[in-house]
Amino acid sequence: MKKKVDYQKRNSQVAANRTQSWKQALVRGKLDARLNPSKIYSVRANKKAAQIDVAKALNMSLSTFGAIERKKRQVPEHTAKKIGQVLGVKFDSIFKKLDNSKYLAL
Protein backbone atom coordinates (compact mmCIF):
# COMPACT_ATOMS: atom_id res chain seq x y z
CA MET A 1 0.00 0.00 0.00
CA LYS A 2 1.29 3.42 -0.93
CA LYS A 3 2.10 5.95 1.73
CA LYS A 4 -0.45 8.77 1.72
CA VAL A 5 1.16 12.12 1.03
CA ASP A 6 0.06 15.15 3.02
CA TYR A 7 -0.14 17.59 0.12
CA GLN A 8 -1.05 20.56 2.29
CA LYS A 9 2.09 20.06 4.36
CA ARG A 10 4.19 19.51 1.23
CA ASN A 11 2.78 22.65 -0.41
CA SER A 12 3.53 24.63 2.74
CA GLN A 13 7.14 23.45 2.68
CA VAL A 14 7.49 24.40 -0.98
CA ALA A 15 5.82 27.75 -0.35
CA ALA A 16 8.29 28.52 2.43
CA ASN A 17 10.99 28.59 -0.23
CA ARG A 18 9.03 30.80 -2.64
CA THR A 19 8.37 34.50 -2.84
CA GLN A 20 5.50 36.25 -1.13
CA SER A 21 3.68 36.84 -4.44
CA TRP A 22 3.81 33.11 -5.18
CA LYS A 23 2.29 32.39 -1.76
CA GLN A 24 -0.51 34.89 -2.37
CA ALA A 25 -1.26 33.36 -5.79
CA LEU A 26 -1.45 29.90 -4.20
CA VAL A 27 -3.96 31.13 -1.62
CA ARG A 28 -6.04 32.94 -4.29
CA GLY A 29 -6.15 29.81 -6.44
CA LYS A 30 -7.27 27.60 -3.56
CA LEU A 31 -9.82 30.17 -2.44
CA ASP A 32 -11.22 30.49 -5.96
CA ALA A 33 -11.46 26.69 -6.24
CA ARG A 34 -13.40 26.55 -2.96
CA LEU A 35 -15.77 29.41 -3.79
CA ASN A 36 -16.44 28.34 -7.37
CA PRO A 37 -15.89 24.58 -7.64
CA SER A 38 -16.32 22.86 -10.98
CA LYS A 39 -18.79 20.05 -11.47
CA ILE A 40 -15.83 17.71 -11.97
CA TYR A 41 -14.63 18.61 -8.47
CA SER A 42 -18.11 18.10 -7.02
CA VAL A 43 -18.52 14.67 -8.61
CA ARG A 44 -15.01 13.63 -7.59
CA ALA A 45 -15.53 14.84 -4.02
CA ASN A 46 -18.87 13.02 -3.74
CA LYS A 47 -17.14 9.80 -4.79
CA LYS A 48 -14.39 10.53 -2.23
CA ALA A 49 -11.78 10.08 -4.96
CA ALA A 50 -8.42 11.79 -4.68
CA GLN A 51 -7.31 13.99 -7.54
CA ILE A 52 -4.15 11.94 -8.00
CA ASP A 53 -6.14 8.69 -8.30
CA VAL A 54 -8.39 10.11 -11.02
CA ALA A 55 -5.36 11.54 -12.84
CA LYS A 56 -3.65 8.14 -12.78
CA ALA A 57 -6.80 6.42 -14.05
CA LEU A 58 -6.83 8.92 -16.93
CA ASN A 59 -3.11 8.41 -17.53
CA MET A 60 -2.37 12.14 -17.19
CA SER A 61 -0.35 14.22 -14.79
CA LEU A 62 -1.81 15.64 -11.62
CA SER A 63 -1.16 19.20 -12.78
CA THR A 64 -2.96 18.60 -16.08
CA PHE A 65 -6.01 17.10 -14.39
CA GLY A 66 -5.96 19.89 -11.78
CA ALA A 67 -5.99 22.53 -14.53
CA ILE A 68 -8.94 20.79 -16.22
CA GLU A 69 -10.78 20.59 -12.90
CA ARG A 70 -10.12 24.29 -12.15
CA LYS A 71 -11.48 25.29 -15.59
CA LYS A 72 -8.05 26.47 -16.75
CA ARG A 73 -7.58 23.97 -19.57
CA GLN A 74 -9.71 22.98 -22.55
CA VAL A 75 -9.83 19.36 -23.65
CA PRO A 76 -10.82 17.52 -26.83
CA GLU A 77 -14.01 15.46 -26.91
CA HIS A 78 -12.31 12.09 -26.41
CA THR A 79 -10.63 13.32 -23.21
CA ALA A 80 -13.90 14.77 -21.90
CA LYS A 81 -15.61 11.43 -22.55
CA LYS A 82 -12.82 9.56 -20.78
CA ILE A 83 -13.08 11.83 -17.72
CA GLY A 84 -16.84 11.31 -17.63
CA GLN A 85 -16.36 7.56 -17.89
CA VAL A 86 -13.82 7.45 -15.04
CA LEU A 87 -16.09 9.56 -12.83
CA GLY A 88 -19.18 7.58 -13.83
CA VAL A 89 -21.21 10.47 -15.28
CA LYS A 90 -22.18 11.68 -18.73
CA PHE A 91 -19.44 13.94 -20.01
CA ASP A 92 -21.89 16.58 -21.25
CA SER A 93 -23.14 17.06 -17.67
CA ILE A 94 -19.69 18.20 -16.48
CA PHE A 95 -18.34 19.87 -19.65
CA LYS A 96 -19.59 22.54 -22.03
CA LYS A 97 -18.67 22.63 -25.69
CA LEU A 98 -16.84 25.71 -26.89
CA ASP A 99 -16.81 27.21 -30.40
CA ASN A 100 -13.44 25.64 -31.24
CA SER A 101 -14.80 22.08 -30.74
CA LYS A 102 -13.02 21.81 -27.39
CA TYR A 103 -14.65 21.26 -24.01
CA LEU A 104 -14.32 23.20 -20.75
CA ALA A 105 -15.39 22.09 -17.29
CA LEU A 106 -18.62 23.54 -15.92
Distance of CA 50 to the CA centre of its chain: 10
In the chain, count H helices and then E strands. 6, 2
In tens, the pLDDT along 1-52 reads 566 667 777 777 776 777 777 677 767 766 666 667 889 988 998 999 999 9
Q: For residues 24 and 99, give the distance between their C-alpha atoms in angstroms, rounded to a whole number.
A: 33
Structure confidence at residue 31 (pLDDT): 67
| CATH architecture of structural domain 39-106 | Orthogonal Bundle (1.10)
How far apart, in whole angstroms, are the C-alpha atoms of residue 100 and residue 63? 23
Domain boundaries, the chain: 1-36, 39-106
